[in-house]
Chain A
Amino acid sequence: EAGVVQSPRYKIIEKKQPVAFWCNPISGHNTLYWYLQNLGQGPELLIRYENEEAVDDSQLPKDRFSAERLKGVDSTLKIQPAELGDSAVYLCASSLKGHPNTGELFFGEGSRLTVL
């Protein structure tokens, strides 16, 4: 069974440029997450989707970050324009909605962004 797939794996851009990350969750998983991980820190939640609906985007910097999950499957996270401080790893995860005690999130390998 394929895991969570993310692309690109690495991206280097100059500041003020746009960038987009793509995530394909595990088949059948209706909950999708985007996390941000800075060097030496744990992942921080940016946004959580239940199917197509963003149910928690309180930590998403909406002035420059946007996300979408059309048709409730794949998702795209966009930054426009990118700033130096956006250099980090962007992780996508998916899970099955259901029992509240499931708790198992499946993560992709992440997309490492470097802003110059």
Chain B
Amino acid sequence: DAKTTQPPSMDCAEGRAANLPCNHSTISGNEYVYWYRQIHSQGPQYIIHGLKNNETNEMASLIITEDRKSSTLILPHATLRDTAVYYCIADSGFQKLVFGTGTRLLVSP
């Protein structure tokens, strides 16, 4: 499975959009991009995933570049409860998710 690269930490003001980048330049054609987050002392929580097209659900939007070498997770109106570690994972969909160290997002008032 492709390796992903994420910034170790990011800050965001409450109410503003949080844009979390992920680089997956070696992603193969059958690999999806998944995003999970982990709030302190909890297990990871699924957010969204996509293959080629941009995706949106009630939690976030996922923007994947045309060459699929990078993606951005967008939380449109970040709240304090969005403070968490966000993991970007490239996986072929056979449910063997390999987590990296993720991005620690801090949302401040």
Contacts and interface: CB of A to CB of B under 8 A. Distances in A.
Contacts, number: 62
Contact of A103 (B43, B44, B49): B49
Nearest to A95: B95
Given A100-B92, A103-B91, A45 B44 contact: no
A12 interface: no
Judged by DSSP, the binding face of B is loop
Interface size of B as a range? 20 to 34
Contacts of B44: 43, 91, 93, 105, 107
Contact of A105 (B92, B94, B95): B95
Interface residues of A, number: 27
Interface of A: 4, 31, 33, 40-45, 48, 56, 91, 93, 95, 97, 99-110
29 contacts: A31-B95, A40-B101, A41-B101, A42-B85, A42-B99, A42-B100, A42-B102, A45-B96, A45-B98, A56-B96, A91-B43, A91-B44, A93-B43, A100-B92, A100-B93, A100-B94, A101-B51, A101-B93, A102-B95, A103-B91, A103-B95, A105-B36, A105-B46, A107-B43, A107-B44, A109-B41, A109-B42, A109-B43, A110-B43
